[in-house]
Structure 1
Amino acid sequence: MKRTLKQWGALGAAAVSLAGVMVVAGGTTSAHADTRCTWGWIKINDSAGGDPISDARGHSHSSGNHYVRDYGRDANSGMYIWNWWADNDGGSDGDTSDTYFGSRWCSNAP
């Protein structure tokens, strides 16, 4: 499907709007700049009582683990969209459901 400049602009506006909603709703947008096009192998779900420990493509830092849960490719541009998720591991229950963290258009697949 060929997209016009107006359609791409609308998609960008929707993404910015979504980011604004996440800030108001208390989402993890403070580290949105850390949705990057590089990754290393990390462990997720490594607290006792949570989901099984697994390896993931992502990064770790002081605000937690973030990993690429899925990705898609735009056939027209050849670009890939990487969907980053926060590993909400830990707490008194051992694990909390992971949450969407942000997306980034990248030139390669993760």
Structure 2
Amino acid sequence: MTRTIKRWGALGAAAVSLAGAMVVTGGATSAHADTRCNWGWIKINDSPGGDPISDAPGHSHNGGNHYIHDFGWDANSGLYIWNWWADNDGGSDGDTGDTYFGSRWCGSPPW
């Protein structure tokens, strides 16, 4: 159990570090701030030529489609970390790989 807590602690530290790197490099800082503890059903991979269209738990806005890829639970704090990914299905062939978008600690599991 101690190992699990340390692993999630390291994951949280990595997420915070990544967020800091995004701020320093001028990355999508406003998008990163849009990780949230709620979601609705959205369509991802809806550009022609890419992966098959599918429904995903997430949100859509001017910055793009973002969905919950996975989540974990920290037994020590009782919180869940939701890992958000960006649906990068643009480009000329519609098949750009999705990328990590950000994480958020939430009081409940996403589903």
Same topology, TM > 0.5: yes
Q: Distance in 2 between matches of 1:16 and 1:37?
A: 17
Are the structure 2 counterparts of residues 14 and 50 from structure 1 closer, same or farther at C-alpha, using a change threshold of 3 Å?
Answer: closer
Tell me whether 23-32 or 95-104 shows the greater mean CA deviation. 23-32
Unaligned stretches of 5+ in structure 1? none
Name the stretch that deviates more: 39-48 or 21-30: 21-30
Instruction: Return the offset for 1:95.
Output: 1.8
Distance 1:85 1:74, change over 3 A: same
- Rate the CA distance shift 1:19–1:88 in 2: closer, same or farther, 3 A: same
Count of matched residue pairs = 106
Residue 23 of structure 1 and its aligned partner are, at CA, apart by 4.1
Question: TM-score, normalized by length of structure 2?
Answer: 0.81
Cα RMSD, aligned residues only: 2.5
SS in 1 for 2:33: helix
2:76 paired residue number? 76
- Over the matched positions of the two proteins, sequence identity in percent amounts to 80
Q: Match of 1:44?
A: 44
